[in-house]
Amino acid sequence: MRVIVVHGGAGAADAEREARRRAGCLEAARRGWAILRQGGDAVEAVVEAVAALEDDPEFNAGLGAVLTRDGQVQLDAAVMRGWDRAAGAVAWVTRTRNPVRLARLLLDRETVLMVGPPADALAGEAGLPRVDPAALITPRQRERLATFLASRRVEEGGTVGAVARDSSGGLAAATSTGGRLGQRSGRVGDTPVIGAGTYADQRGAASATGTGEAFIRAVAAFRAVSALDHASPDDAATAALATVTEVGGRGGLIVVNARGEFGVAFTTAQMVHAWIREGEEGTGA
């Protein structure tokens, strides 16, 4: 069964923005679904879906990402292909509009993870759209950073991601983030860490969002997919999040298994998400 599931990040409830975020997730899922419907593979579907969220300023990825303590955008992304466990990831990207497309470039290269200016340079060599870092900063995120610096109150951020199964049974996951509001420059969370924030193999695929350091320590995305050996996707996601809670974190996971069944779980107040499968689409928070 073909299916795609998209999340827009786990965090605090936000009634004012929820409708826009649900709509954004559903539109992203539809963009990925269009690829699956035409016979495309799961990798291209999740990359297209996540790129749509990177272009939507409602989400903490790409345009509109949160700012570091010194007022900069710092972007991370990862893509993993389930059938051969190929992976690509980038961190500390500042000049690439869609980091998920850059991560996709690495799937068939020797390098799995690239960081900083060399990663941005590779994007330029490949003809991916590059931008002035200031073009990715929105007024809303400038205001949020000012509030953070004044109060030091840590806000739950968000990370976007997608998982999919295509018509041939191929599975894939992709995740993208701007990190944590007010983080120190150079900090990297779980998104580009394969097995922590992003993972896929022949059993399933998972994309995570939440307290990055805790997801790294829990190896949460890998745990969720491994649990599919004996659990439903919902139960697998819930079990993986329990290990995140044990090390002081919280957040959410989306998971799809080899049969095209999917699960969604989160320990925050909200995790906006959307899904499409044969004859059905929907959103949740």
Known catalytic residue: 159? Answer: yes
pLDDT for 257: 98
The pLDDT confidence band at residue 151, using thresholds 50, 70 and 90, is: confident
The mean pLDDT value for 86-96 works out to 97
pLDDT for 12: 83
Catalytic annotation, pick one of 159, 175, 209, 268: 159
pLDDT for 164: 98
pLDDT for 157: 59
Q: Report the percent of the chain where pLDDT is more than 70.
A: 98
Rounded CA gap, 169 and 7, in Å? 21
The mean pLDDT value for 228-233 works out to 97
Do 175 and 189 contact (CB within 8 A), yes or no? no
pLDDT for 279: 87
Q: Is the pLDDT of residue 190 over 70?
A: yes
Indicate yes or no: pTM above 0.85: yes
List beta partners, residue 161.
7, 175
Half-sphere exposure (Cβ direction) of 202: Cα atoms closer than 13 Å: 2
Q: What is the pLDDT of residues 70-88, one digit of tens each?
A: 999 999 999 999 999 999 9
Rounded CA gap, 233 and 275, in Å? 14
Rounded CA gap, 138 and 56, in Å? 11
Q: Is the pLDDT of residue 156 over 60?
A: no
Joined tokens for residue 199:
């993972």
The mean pLDDT value for 100-115 works out to 96
Q: CB count, 10 Å around CB of 74?
A: 26
List beta partners, residue 114.
90
Query: Mean pLDDT over all residues of the chain?
Result: 95
The DSSP bridge pattern shows strands 113-115 and 86-93 to be: parallel
